[in-house]
């Protein structure tokens, strides 16, 4: 075994370039930076909504935080691959001894990737169950059981894949140390990689479709249902990433030049994790837009009219009636008297309801009463329904 020789025999007429092989490291730096930035922004938005606006932390927040830590473990491995061997470098331009650290960081990336996605998807589904499946009614529809099934698959497959990655060679160091391979026992990991990619794609499709029927049965306007459906439909981005990752996994497994086909696999896996952080932050964004006033500013910038029940004021609610000769106030209360305060509606207290998708399902709090008020003006009866 010549450790200073090429890791793969070059094609006829090609001389290996170990010192400065052609690469596309700038593309890798851009992809890694974009994924890190988007994921961090999504985490900060969720933290702001949870800690500052709602002032509560739940189990899904802990799962998301753990996933973010493991996400940086995966990005660290991708960053180390920039130096050795580099991105989009042919394997014959890499010394065999340099494949030892390369294989090690590929192994590290695979382990962290296999932890991040189950954590994120379990966090997403746990939160959605709280929104769409209120307590006491959770076992009544397919949504709850669908979420339970996906959570079970993600948890069990995640544990199984991490164990498989760590047991692919005995002794353990032979996973990355090629000098130990002749005396070690290893199995082909390609089938595990295909199984992992397939499970993630199927899970992403299930997460995309599960909430749609529940959303379209909500008691809200058609436009609001469309908006909520669109927000949760952004999970299609994760499906695209998972499908592309499955395709490049199949290509990578069939290629002899594994170093060359590795970058697309790493990029799509990073994009898939980034989509997970984006989706887990979506339910918090409407609340942030409303509570900070950013939503109204965006609507005004787009030329859309805005209205809010929380802007209800006494002056806006007070109705001035023409005091004609035959006009009378209901109950005989004259304008300008202290008793006229009866007609002044108190401003509504800030509602606890929110545009946030965190509270789409509410429990019945009591009996709703409708009051009919009859007002006589200039001999004409008018009925008002508040």
- pLDDT above 90: residue 63: yes
Q: Residue 175 gets which letter from DSSP?
A: G
Which of 178, 24, 3 shows the shortest CA–CA distance to 89? 24
Taking all residues of the chain, what is their mean pLDDT, rounded to a whole number? 81
Round to whole Å and give the CA distance between 46 and 288. 9
pLDDT tens digits, one per residue of 289-315: 777 776 666 667 666 655 444 444 443
Task: Find tokens 């509570």 and name the residue.
Answer: 291
Domain positions in the chain:
25-294
Under 8 Å between Cβ of 16 and 6: yes
Is pLDDT above 80 for 369? no
DSSP result, 265-304: HHHHHHHHHHHHHHHHHGGGHHHHHHHTSHHHHHHHHTT-
In this predicted structure, the answer to whether residue 206 has a pLDDT above a threshold of 90 is yes
Per residue in 262-298, pLDDT tens?
999 999 999 999 999 999 998 888 778 777 776 666 6
For 214-236, how does the pLDDT look when each residue is reduced to its tens digit (9 = 90+)?
Answer: 888 777 787 877 877 888 888 89
Span 317-354, pLDDT tens digits? 334 444 444 444 444 444 443 434 333 333 444 444 44
CATH entry, 25-294, from 1.20.1070, 1.10.10, 3.40.50, 1.10.1740: 1.20.1070
pLDDT of residue 299: 65
Closest CA to 199 of 233, 152, 163, 236: 152
pLDDT band of 172, cuts 50, 70, 90: very high
pLDDT above 90 coverage of the chain, percent: 57
């Amino acid at each position: 075994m010549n450790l200073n020789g090429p890791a793969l025999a070059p094609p006829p007429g090609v001389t290996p370039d170990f010192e400065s092989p052609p690469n596309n490291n700038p593309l890798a730096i851009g992809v890694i930076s974009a994924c890190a930035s988007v994921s961090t922004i999504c985490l900060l938005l969720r933290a702001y909504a949870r800690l500052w606006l709602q002032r509560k932390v739940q189990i899904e927040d802990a799962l998301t935080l753990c996933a973010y830590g493991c996400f940086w473990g995966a990005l660290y491995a991708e960053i180390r691959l920039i130096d050795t061997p580099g991105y989009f470098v042919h394997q014959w331009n890499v010394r065999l001894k340099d494949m030892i650290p390369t294989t090690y960081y590929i192994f590290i990336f695979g382990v962290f990737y296999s932890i991040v996605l189950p954590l994120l998807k379990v966090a997403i589904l746990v939160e959605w169950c709280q929104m769409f499946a209120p307590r006491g009614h959770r076992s009544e529809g397919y949504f709850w059981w669908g979420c339970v099934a996906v959570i079970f698959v993600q948890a069990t497959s995640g544990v199984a894949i991490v164990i498989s990655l760590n047991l692919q060679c005995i002794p353990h160091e032979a996973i990355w140390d090629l000098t130990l391979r002749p005396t070690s026992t290893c199995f082909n990991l390609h089938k595990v990689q295909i199984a992992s990619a397939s499970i993630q794609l199927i899970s992403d499709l299930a997460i995309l479709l599960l909430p749609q029927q529940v959303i379209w049965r909500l008691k809200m306007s058609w436009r609001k249902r469309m908006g909520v459906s669109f927000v949760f439909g952004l999970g299609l981005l994760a499906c695209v990433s998972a499908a592309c990752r499955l395709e490049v996994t199949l290509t990578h497994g069939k290629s002899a030049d594994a170093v060359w086909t590795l970058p697309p696999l790493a990029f799509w896996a990073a994009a898939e994790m980034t989509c997970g952080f984006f989706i887990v932050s979506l339910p918090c964004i409407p609340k942030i837009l409303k509570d900070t006033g950013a939503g109204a500013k965006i609507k005004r910038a787009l030329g859309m009219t805005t209205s809010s029940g929380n802007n209800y004021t006494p002056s806006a609610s007070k109705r001035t009636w023409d005091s004609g000769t035959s006009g009378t106030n209901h109950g005989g209360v004259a304008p300008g008297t202290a008793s006229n305060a009866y007609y002044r509606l108190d401003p509504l207290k800030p509602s606890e309801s929110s545009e946030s998708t965190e509270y789409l399902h509410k429990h019945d709090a009591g009996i709703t009463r409708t009051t009919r008020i009859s007002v006589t003006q200039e001999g004409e009866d008018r009925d008002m329904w508040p």
